Amino acid sequence: MNENTLTDLLQQVKGGEIAIDQALELLRRLPFEVLDSARLDHHRALRTGLPEVVFGEHKTVDQLIEILDTLLRTDNVVLATRISEEKAAQVRTRLDGLTYHPEARVLSGNQHLAPIGIGRGTVVIVSAGTSDFPVAEEARITLRSYGHRVVAIHDVGVAGIHRILAHAQQLQQATVVIVVAGMEGALPSVVAGMTAAPVIGVPTSIGYGTGAGGFSALLGMLNSCSPGLAVVNIDNGFGAACMAAAINRKG
Amino acid sequence: MNENTLTDLLQQVKGGEIAIDQALELLRRLPFEVLDSARLDHHRALRTGLPEVVFGEHKTVDQLIEILDTLLRTDNVVLATRISEEKAAQVRTRLDGLTYHPEARVLSGNQHLAPIGIGRGTVVIVSAGTSDFPVAEEARITLRSYGHRVVAIHDVGVAGIHRILAHAQQLQQATVVIVVAGMEGALPSVVAGMTAAPVIGVPTSIGYGTGAGGFSALLGMLNSCSPGLAVVNIDNGFGAACMAAAINRKG
Amino acid sequence: MNENTLTDLLQQVKGGEIAIDQALELLRRLPFEVLDSARLDHHRALRTGLPEVVFGEHKTVDQLIEILDTLLRTDNVVLATRISEEKAAQVRTRLDGLTYHPEARVLSGNQHLAPIGIGRGTVVIVSAGTSDFPVAEEARITLRSYGHRVVAIHDVGVAGIHRILAHAQQLQQATVVIVVAGMEGALPSVVAGMTAAPVIGVPTSIGYGTGAGGFSALLGMLNSCSPGLAVVNIDNGFGAACMAAAINRKG
Amino acid sequence: MNENTLTDLLQQVKGGEIAIDQALELLRRLPFEVLDSARLDHHRALRTGLPEVVFGEHKTVDQLIEILDTLLRTDNVVLATRISEEKAAQVRTRLDGLTYHPEARVLSGNQHLAPIGIGRGTVVIVSAGTSDFPVAEEARITLRSYGHRVVAIHDVGVAGIHRILAHAQQLQQATVVIVVAGMEGALPSVVAGMTAAPVIGVPTSIGYGTGAGGFSALLGMLNSCSPGLAVVNIDNGFGAACMAAAINRKG
Amino acid sequence: MNENTLTDLLQQVKGGEIAIDQALELLRRLPFEVLDSARLDHHRALRTGLPEVVFGEHKTVDQLIEILDTLLRTDNVVLATRISEEKAAQVRTRLDGLTYHPEARVLSGNQHLAPIGIGRGTVVIVSAGTSDFPVAEEARITLRSYGHRVVAIHDVGVAGIHRILAHAQQLQQATVVIVVAGMEGALPSVVAGMTAAPVIGVPTSIGYGTGAGGFSALLGMLNSCSPGLAVVNIDNGFGAACMAAAINRKG
Amino acid sequence: MNENTLTDLLQQVKGGEIAIDQALELLRRLPFEVLDSARLDHHRALRTGLPEVVFGEHKTVDQLIEILDTLLRTDNVVLATRISEEKAAQVRTRLDGLTYHPEARVLSGNQHLAPIGIGRGTVVIVSAGTSDFPVAEEARITLRSYGHRVVAIHDVGVAGIHRILAHAQQLQQATVVIVVAGMEGALPSVVAGMTAAPVIGVPTSIGYGTGAGGFSALLGMLNSCSPGLAVVNIDNGFGAACMAAAINRKG
Amino acid sequence: MNENTLTDLLQQVKGGEIAIDQALELLRRLPFEVLDSARLDHHRALRTGLPEVVFGEHKTVDQLIEILDTLLRTDNVVLATRISEEKAAQVRTRLDGLTYHPEARVLSGNQHLAPIGIGRGTVVIVSAGTSDFPVAEEARITLRSYGHRVVAIHDVGVAGIHRILAHAQQLQQATVVIVVAGMEGALPSVVAGMTAAPVIGVPTSIGYGTGAGGFSALLGMLNSCSPGLAVVNIDNGFGAACMAAAINRKG
Amino acid sequence: MNENTLTDLLQQVKGGEIAIDQALELLRRLPFEVLDSARLDHHRALRTGLPEVVFGEHKTVDQLIEILDTLLRTDNVVLATRISEEKAAQVRTRLDGLTYHPEARVLSGNQHLAPIGIGRGTVVIVSAGTSDFPVAEEARITLRSYGHRVVAIHDVGVAGIHRILAHAQQLQQATVVIVVAGMEGALPSVVAGMTAAPVIGVPTSIGYGTGAGGFSALLGMLNSCSPGLAVVNIDNGFGAACMAAAINRKG
């Protein structure tokens, strides 16, 4: 039974599946839970296929603990991104059951509840330089928590074009490819020209001068002359993983 | 047999499938054809799963005719985007077998060669306002030429939120959704929160003042708080169609 | 008697209410007081209906103490915004009668002098995400100090559109709505489509990559396709409160 | 009976006011009408208090005629903005009952249906220079069509500060003030310091060099040090009128 | 005798004033001195009427000491701008004869050598808010060191327009006016409309959101509709002082 | 008798020079005249030393004729800037007594009323390239109409540095120098290093690519390392002339 | 004898080669010629190794004819860039001896005076797409006029990476490579990774949306991770040719 | 034997120089080495003439040590740029054989392996102000490590134009000139007008206000009116050195 749209609700009332009072009650409570610091959206996994992930950048340690504590009691994998090493340490002192991934700056929990190998195929993650590694890791850990098969290829930037050419076969066999690159952001163009799989570009804020902040890489990817390429926000490894998961899901 | 990478070439030489001289010859000629005005890439369809499409914006009528004439002799569907009404008329006067789609500003040919219903499912194209229609049409005609099933929903912008809510079921059944929106570019965020399918946002240059040029819509989509959303360049209906085709392809 | 314009002054001279010398003296002294660090504008409350509020961001502790000490001796509520926790502690050590609101980063005093329930109706403050809370709080405390009725609704961003839909009635009964949102800044568009009340959008600097600094949210709000929406500067909860107070005042 | 939210719909079903089938039917048809080129939102006037206005900038003459023809048959005032002189002439040749306002670039119809003097008080529109006049006129005609009392004051820019000072009394008696200014956009700051009424700033694209496009005026208004001021998009006289109407409405 | 241009040099050779070898020697040594960290330009005072001032922002303590030590041995007033409190303390520990002005962030020396009252008249410095004070002070101390008469008026921003109106006479009697303002940068427009003296606008980086960094104030000043106004870089109190000194010099 | 400030007005009332009713009347009428299209500011010449000049860019031919007709009846020189060749022809067909300067795009009238040689000295106008000539001409004609002595030096850009060096003496003898330059805008820096006179930089929109629009030249001038330099808006030859006139005026 | 610096001049005076009066005369006349519309710099070829080229974009037909007429009488090759087809036709009607290159938008003359094969080696010009051809042509014709050997390779963008790989040998044998690319501007990075020759990147304004104007391509090239790459302004084929000529010259 | 392109590889196979299995093996291993944190490209020196240099900005101490340890075992000079003083100290504690250059922020090793005087001539490095010194040093040390002859001229900015004129001869004798400048970035224009050598402009982030970050200097250089000038990214002393080395190499 799919219960997450208002139209469906009325259908159920009509079909006698639920009473009007129940419908009104459902509408009043709606599928989320009100905490002090956040309104958790438990039906989200049903609706979008993706469990809610906590964006930790602007949250305090107290807010994180309250939200994560609630999520750990559900039967979903728990993930919090953009968690600094200090915050992670403080949270883990006061809350059990969380693992910290320092490169990816991610806290995870309930990993035993993660599905395994659920997608149609393999997600390949490619990164251009050593400094793009953390963003690629954020994407990899997110996808793994969601149960997808992932292969990662690092340090294959376009300044030595033979490095990415050596991986042609892996790129052609992927269901979807994530390409993480800073500086001029040229790698996704090259990759999208080598494979029939959809390519998700992730510009990174690696660079200096006019490249600082990642705008150069972002513009490079948006203006690619290769077809089959779409882009997420700068440093948004998590967003790329969600898009890849949506592409790779069965059905 | 997949023959489009250099690694493969050497494998074939090793396996005795082709002689070294043939390999060298292949490498010298490479899988493209040199015209006066463009180097056509016939192997592209094999490599990326997408036939080459002519980007007409900056090309002269003479250049268009030379390229399209060559493409019409191949066994691929022919598509040229960003063709103004005047250019289209001039090209069609001198070259047979082309259809002009004025809303989408597209010239097409060899449509009898188009595959039918090849993808895993249906691509849903959503547009926010009347003025976003041409970009949505560019995407729809491209996808149709590639053989994908497409459903289009128009004029469902967020200022009247009930309009998009009425289409919840269609969005949930799509394999991939393209959302075309100008102004504040908020519609993709709402759509991505309503479906498990991957969503491709296409910002349009519809707007004025700070919205002129489409940057506001682009930034809105890049900064969406909804997961499962990636973005292509402003007004890039063709690029969105290519990404959708890559996502929807079988295998 | 309204005495705050120069035209009025001449009228009073003509009517014999005040002597010319008094008028000249008034003009010379003018309705403000010169401190070392700031020229306090005591007639401002009469002229604009709003007591002067100290913008603390760039002021030193010494400047704050001198200004607040003077304001506390008047019969107006006292408010200082953008006060860090450290500055607040230092000021309160040396000056009595001030309360610190850490979430809102506001110092207040003379709250017993605040009017109660003065406006035409209720101001509803809506915020999109947990991280937008401080800006919403700055607006709420300012409005409360000015004597307005306020209702706050938090964490109802557009990625889960049902969350804001559940508050339709409150939005329709408001005299004015403040909507605080970062990221893509889409929530004000949706809200403005749901109510006949004027909506004030407050973009926040919550975000990263292209969203850092709040420009994406600002542009999103300026380019809204919903009517009845105007915008204040990024993170300017205080400015939104002043606008709301001006809208909600009687007469 | 207020019927425009989904919650209300369910309440009516519960209360026996309408049958479930009717509710479903309502939901299916939803309060808009599907034309070829636009989905007209007839319930909008009930929901937001403002009749739908056609944004004409990017619409063709054919699209305009189809939409306006439908709207003229309703019992609402009809308004289309951003209509060039040529387009207006072509539309009026083929459609009766429309008046063109060349300065404001507005087409209006059904003006006999306009309410008269409906608001709480008077809207004062102030413009800085001769060239800002068209934007001020777009605001004035929109407000008049909605039935509000309007007073307009022109050519009172800050370079001759005595010009605006001479209007102090009018500004103080307004319910809401719209200030239209290009160049440095300083006039709204000065006006907001002279009145207790809420001020809506409208930056215009009047200027050259760094002022071209209106960004300078927009930034000036967003960064005003005067309280009680909010801003709409560049040249958006219509948007300012909607905000003013929302502020001035009774209740 | 004016000796600082190459043309003059040849003239002197022709007139027999100096021998060719002397001319070549002069050209070789040229009117500057080579230190490890800077090439001091002793003839600058003759050529531009202004002694060299050290821009301290990016210089190390060692570089500052080497340069200031050399300058203190000349018979010019010594000035170093953009010196933090820490740097100033370190320099003064190791070098005698320097005074630190903390508000202006300026180090000065040889003040007994400063001329007194040298210009044609008085320079009036106006600042809009408390936070603009440091930039105004940098200008005032620079002008005083150069020997000009200065009057400063603070905290007269446009939100309370009567405050600046009260100073009309001082503005009309100035030889040149410097106006320092952040936020919307509107004050120079108002001042330039009140006086026949040339006005130099100095935008400051005071502000937040879109005003952060001072671009809003800069654009406001560049786009002023008042004549007789020119602008220097953001926070450039020193540059404004140099321009004012050049305007105020006799001859 | 100086009558243009409100303070003065009260002084005159006090001194018995005018009656209160006269003062009120004066205040009511204020020193400007209300036309249909513009509020002419006749006291401006007294207040700022500069007659009002019509900014023609956004004005229609009808507006220009109405304003210029009124101004021609005063005893001031008449000037209208940014007048295209077509507009000028249309205006001159219907209004006598105007001269058109096509290079400068200026209409002038009442030139027999212009003062002669009124300033303290000579204004030198320097331009970098052939294409900067029109902006320099706008400045020259404005200054000449105001009665100032002007010398113009053209085509002395920094790519051939000896060209400007040859004019060292003229630069050193100027009272004020205007430097007009597009592209990289480096010439004002060089000139300001060669003279003790104040230098006004005018960036022009000459250039292409990143230089298009004049931002590169503007930034170059704002960031000059030479003291004694201030800047006006891009292409603002008129503004530079007003600043130069204010600097060069006696007293 | 090298005579183009002022230091040299004095040396010659000292050595008795020329009299002082001659030196002064030389300095007064300086090595340029004053026309009405431009100061021609005849010594430029001696000083910088490159004859003066007329930048035609902002020049009128009359200005072009005056300048080109003078240049044609010298013994240098004559070149004018950015000449539209219409302007070229008008100039050629009134002036003999000029050839127009429509693709490159260049007028040339005195080509029989061009040197042949003067450089150290060959300049290779690479362009990414059909639309980049005009900029590449501007570079090629400029270099040919200067006497350099040029090879051009077109339509080898990174979306089909094998296309540029096929030219590896040509790139490795070049003395200098010019790479012309719009869109994402990735080709120079790939080329610079394939050759030891210095690479000059020329971004073009080919593109749309965020790529319009060429900023995306410019940023991509500036942020390249490949060493041995420098960049000229957008569409500046002429500038790239000058840089290449300077690199390729002997000595 | 040149072995670094894929085409060459096939040629060798054909010529019998290597067996197919060897070719496949070569292709599989490819000319780089896979470490945990970086893929070192040992053939780069052969392919581009430049040894790989480590970009240290975003690398951790552990990553630096792993990479540098490997590089020190090769027979190439080792260079790491953008290394802070703290990082350098930590690396040198754990790894022998490295020298730190604090001004240039460079770590170098294997300097005994550096070639001596390998280029065609001398590279002249010019910097405008004291604060540009570090970027100039990064370029100088890189070039010296590569074996090129370098001359450096410091503190010759355009505000005192005679300073750079005194170095005319050195500039004319250079094979290539690097010009490092912040602020308005005008020095490269002047230098390029004084020499026939190619000039590489390096904008620096020295400045404040609108000059902060180096964009002003970058735009100044891109828009230079002097021919023979190309630009690298802001603060990219290393990139300028690579370009200079490529220009200066023999052959």
The model's pLDDT over B74-118, given as tens digits with 9 standing for 90+, comes to 888 899 999 999 999 999 999 999 999 999 999 999 988 888 888
Whether G30 sits inside 8 A of F154 (CB atoms) is no
Q: Which of H166, H208, H210 lies at the smallest CB-CB distance from E30?
A: H166
Distance from CA of H238 to the nearest CA of E (A): 21
β partners of residue B230: B200
Q: Exposed, middle or buried: residue C100 (CB in 10 Å: 0-12, 13-18, 19+)?
A: middle
Cα–Cα distance for residue pair F71/F54, rounded to 1 Å: 10
Task: Give E23's contacts in chain G (Cβ within 8 Å).
Answer: 10
Q: Which one, of G169, G170, G168, G191, lies nearest residue G179 by Cα?
A: G191
- Does the pLDDT value for residue D104 go beyond 70? yes
Whether F6 sits inside 8 A of D162 (CB atoms) is yes
Predicted confidence at residue B44, as pLDDT, reads: 57
Cα–Cα distance for residue pair C179/C124, rounded to 1 Å: 8
DSSP A237: H
Best mean pLDDT range from E84-98, F197-211, H11-25, H56-70: E84-98
Chain E residue with CA closest to F190: the answer is E48
- Assess contact for G214 and G236: CB atoms under 8 A: no
C-alpha gyration radius of chain C: 20
Residue where the block lists tokens 């936020």: E183
Cα–Cα distance for residue pair A34/E5, rounded to 1 Å: 77
pLDDT range class, residue E28, cuts 50, 70, 90: very low
- F106-109 vs F98-101, strand pairing mode: antiparallel
Supply angle C-alpha D222, D228, D234, rounded to 5.
35
pLDDT digits (tens, 9 = 90+) for G171-222: 999 999 999 999 888 999 999 999 999 999 999 997 777 877 888 899 999 9
Question: Is H in contact with D (3 or more beta carbon pairs below 8 Å)?
Answer: no
Cα–Cα distance for residue pair G85/G81, rounded to 1 Å: 11
Q: Which one, of D174, D173, D172, D158, lies nearest residue D224 by Cα?
A: D158
Q: What is the pTM of this model?
A: 0.83
For residues F224, F228, F232 and F236, what is the CA-based torsion angle, rounded to 10 degrees? Answer: -100
Q: Which residues lie below 8 Å from residue D2, measured CB to CB, with a gap of 6+?
A: C172, D8, D46
Q: Can you tell me whether residue C141 is helix, strand or coil?
A: helix
Max alpha carbon distance in chain D (Å)? Answer: 66
Query: DSSP for chain E?
Result: ----SHHHHHHHHHTTSS-HHHHHHHHHHTT-EE-SS-EE-TTHHHHHSS---EE-TT--HHHHHHHHHHHHTSSS-EEEES--HHHHHHHHHHSSSEEEETTTTEEEE-GGG--SS-SSSEEEEEESSGGGHHHHHHHHHHHHHHT-EEEEE-S--GGGTHHHHTTHHHHHH-SEEEEEE-TT--HHHHHHTT-SS-EEEEE-----GGGGGGHHHHHHHHT-SSSSEEE--TT-HHHHHHHHHHHHS--
Backbone angles phi, psi at D153, to 5 degrees: -125, 120
Predicted confidence at residue H212, as pLDDT, reads: 75
The proportion of chain G whose per-residue pLDDT surpasses 70, expressed as a percent, equals 80
pLDDT range class, residue F13, cuts 50, 70, 90: low
Task: Give E162's contacts in chain C (Cβ within 8 Å).
Answer: 6, 30-32
Distance from CA of C213 to the nearest CA of E (A): 7
Q: Does H131 touch chain E (CB under 8 A)?
A: yes
Q: Does A225 touch chain G (CB under 8 A)?
A: yes
- Assess contact for E48 and F195: CB atoms under 8 A: yes
End-to-end Cα distance, chain H: 17
Task: Give H212's contacts in chain E (Cβ within 8 Å).
Answer: 213
Q: At what angle do helices G215-222 and A215-222 cross, to 10 degrees?
A: 130
Task: Give D23's contacts in chain A (Cβ within 8 Å).
Answer: 10
pLDDT digits (tens, 9 = 90+) for B179-198: 999 988 899 999 999 999 99
Predicted confidence at residue B33, as pLDDT, reads: 47
Whether B24 sits inside 8 A of H11 (CB atoms) is yes
Predicted confidence at residue D27, as pLDDT, reads: 46
Residues in chain B: 251
Q: Residues E136-144: what's their mean pLDDT?
A: 96
> Which subunits count as partners of chain B given 3+ CB pairs below 8 Å?
A, C, D, G, H
Task: Give D27's contacts in chain B (Cβ within 8 Å).
Answer: 166
Whether B10 sits inside 8 A of H27 (CB atoms) is yes
What's at D203, amino acid-wise? P
pLDDT digits (tens, 9 = 90+) for G56-72: 888 889 989 999 999 99
Interface test with D, best of E223, E224, E229 (most D CBs within 10 A): E223
Q: Does A30 touch chain C (CB under 8 A)?
A: yes
How high is the ipTM of this complex? 0.83
Token pair for residue H32? Answer: 């780089």
Cα–Cα distance for residue pair D244/D176, rounded to 1 Å: 6
Interface test with C, best of D5, D194, D247 (most C CBs within 10 A): D247
Q: Can you tell me whether residue D192 is helix, strand or coil?
A: helix
Q: Does G201 touch chain A (CB under 8 A)?
A: no
Backbone angles phi, psi at H126, to 5 degrees: -115, 135
pLDDT range class, residue B163, cuts 50, 70, 90: confident
β partners of residue F33: F40
Supply angle C-alpha F229, F232, F233, rounded to 5.
145
Q: Does F24 touch chain C (CB under 8 A)?
A: yes
A36-40, A143-147, D78-82: lowest mean pLDDT where? A36-40
- Assess contact for G113 and G44: CB atoms under 8 A: no
- Assess contact for D91 and D83: CB atoms under 8 A: yes
Task: Give E220's contacts in chain D (Cβ within 8 Å).
Answer: 184-186, 216, 219-220
The proportion of chain E whose per-residue pLDDT surpasses 90, expressed as a percent, equals 53
Please give the mean pLDDT across all residues of chain G. Answer: 83
Task: Give G219's contacts in chain A (Cβ within 8 Å).
Answer: 184, 210-211, 215-216, 219-220
Cα–Cα distance for residue pair G207/B94, rounded to 1 Å: 27
- Does the pLDDT value for residue F59 go beyond 50? yes
Question: Is B in contact with D (3 or more beta carbon pairs below 8 Å)?
Answer: yes
Q: Can you tell me whether residue H155 is helix, strand or coil?
A: coil
Distance from CA of H169 to the nearest CA of A (A): 32
- Assess contact for H225 and F216: CB atoms under 8 A: no
Kindly list the domain boundaries of chain D, sorted by start residue: 3-113, 122-248
Q: Does C168 touch chain D (CB under 8 A)?
A: yes
Residue where the block lists tokens 């682009």: B218
> Which subunits count as partners of chain H given 3+ CB pairs below 8 Å?
A, B, E, F, G
Cα–Cα distance for residue pair F207/G214, rounded to 1 Å: 14
Q: Does B232 touch chain A (CB under 8 A)?
A: yes
Token pair for residue F90? Answer: 């249309």
- Does the pLDDT value for residue G17 go beyond 90? no
Best mean pLDDT range from B35-39, C210-214, C226-230, H22-26: C226-230
Q: Which one, of G78, G74, G61, lies nearest residue G31 by Cα?
A: G74
Q: Which one, of D226, D158, C39, lies nearest residue E229 by Cα?
A: D158
DSSP A185: -
Q: Does C15 touch chain F (CB under 8 A)?
A: no
pLDDT digits (tens, 9 = 90+) for C99-126: 999 999 999 999 888 888 889 999 999 9
Residue B137 falls in which region: left (phi positive, over 0), alpha (psi -120 to 50) or beta: alpha
Residue F183 falls in which region: left (phi positive, over 0), alpha (psi -120 to 50) or beta: left
Q: Which of D160, D165, D209 lies at the smallest CB-CB distance from F236?
A: D209
β partners of residue B40: B33
Tell me which CATH code domain A122-248 carries: 3.40.50.1970
How crowded is the C-beta side of A16, counted as CA atoms within 13 Å?
Answer: 0
Task: Give B7's contacts in chain H (Cβ within 8 Å).
Answer: 27
- Assess contact for A109 and A51: CB atoms under 8 A: no
Cα–Cα distance for residue pair A221/A216, rounded to 1 Å: 9
What's at B1, amino acid-wise? M
Distance from CA of D212 to the nearest CA of C (A): 18
Cα–Cα distance for residue pair H173/D174, rounded to 1 Å: 75
- Does the pLDDT value for residue A69 go beyond 90? yes
Cα–Cα distance for residue pair A174/A151, rounded to 1 Å: 9
- Assess contact for F215 and H218: CB atoms under 8 A: no
Q: Can you tell me whether residue F208 is helix, strand or coil?
A: coil
Token pair for residue F72? Answer: 């021609």
Query: DSSP for H203-247?
Result: E-----GGGGGGHHHHHHHHT-SSSSEEE--TT-HHHHHHHHHHH
- Assess contact for D42 and D131: CB atoms under 8 A: no
How crowded is the C-beta side of E103, counted as CA atoms within 13 Å?
Answer: 17
Q: Does C102 touch chain A (CB under 8 A)?
A: no
Residue where the block lists tokens 């103490």: C65
Alpha carbon F149 to its chain centroid, in Å, reads 14
DSSP C5: S
Chain D residue with CA closest to E224: the answer is D184
Token pair for residue G115? Answer: 């040197």
Whether G162 sits inside 8 A of B6 (CB atoms) is yes
Whether H30 sits inside 8 A of A166 (CB atoms) is yes
Predicted confidence at residue G114, as pLDDT, reads: 84
Predicted confidence at residue A221, as pLDDT, reads: 94
- Assess contact for F56 and F80: CB atoms under 8 A: yes
Other beta carbons within 10 Å of F112: 6
The residue among F112 and A36 whose pLDDT is bigger is F112
Whether B10 sits inside 8 A of H21 (CB atoms) is no
Token pair for residue D35? Answer: 């034309």
Token pair for residue G156? Answer: 């080898």
Interface contacts A/D by beta carbons within 8 Å: 25
β partners of residue C54: C80
Predicted confidence at residue G32, as pLDDT, reads: 45
What's at B173, amino acid-wise? Q
Q: Exposed, middle or buried: residue E28 (CB in 10 Å: 0-12, 13-18, 19+)?
A: exposed
